[in-house]
Amino acid sequence: MAKTWFITGTSTGLGRLLTERLLARGDSVIATLRRPGALDDLQARYGEQLRIVMLDVTDTAATRAALKQAFDQAGRIDVLVNNAGYGLFGVAEAVSDAQIERQIATNLTGSIQLIRAALPYLRAQGGGRIVQISSEGGQIAYPNFSLYHATKWGIEGFIESVAQEVATFGIDFLIIEPGPTATSFATGLDQAAPLPCYENTPASEMRRAIASGDFAIKGDAAKTVEAIILTADLPAPPLRLALGSTAYQSISKALAARRKELEENKPLTLSADREDD
């Protein structure tokens, strides 16, 4: 049976590909974007199967209005996809206050407010699914991406909590964690100027790797989107889905290291309990 999807950030990248694939298989899509005209070709091809909404996810009032309009018009939305976002690149002390505020407002606050605004409608219709496009960077970290990681780790923690709050209402979540994938993400990085004092550090090595193209990008965008759709269609999807060999390897390594550190410090950890317990 055809589904109705609400997807943010559909101008390019995974959001655009996801919209194309879903329309092609017969689903309806309510697609949000900030750049007029980006989906005009799809609108001409699919007509009323595609509804386009202009939305900047950093505008909470606009997000609430867009969701109200979407549910009023569609009647039911089966899957909401929080996809809008971008990356801020630079060492923590070099990025500007304005860059930090924009990164958090887009990737974290914007995603949180979309979820909060959607929950009453999903409860009223008896359930639904929210897909959060996160990143391997929601569980691991690279130098120069500290603010980006803060938003991805933050939204994953938010969802882990909210998922427990709303499971009774038939609402579930799927967090997608792709590794480096061939999209426009790298070219769209918001970059801070390098600081000379960080030369010959891991931060400068990362900057050179990205600038030269030596940073390995193994993920295929089309295959990533197919995996997202396949998993979102499952009756009971996992809470998290890592995608790509880089994500699998980096997350596995990080989890093993955290578990090792936890066990090594177990005596000191347990010593913090009250004596009468």
Residues catalogued as catalytic: 134, 148, 152
Alpha-carbon span 209 to 14, nearest angstrom? 23
CA gyration radius for the chain?
20
**Amino acid in position 169:** F
- DSSP per-residue string spanning 124-155: HTT-EEEEEE--GGGT---TT-HHHHHHHHHH
| Dist. CA 232–CA 40, nearest whole Å | 26
**Integer Cα distance of 105 and 235 in angstroms:** 32
Q: Please state, in angstroms and rounded to a whole number, the distance separating the CA atoms of residues 44 and 49.
A: 10
User: How many Å apart are CA 155 and CA 44, to the nearest integer?
Assistant: 35
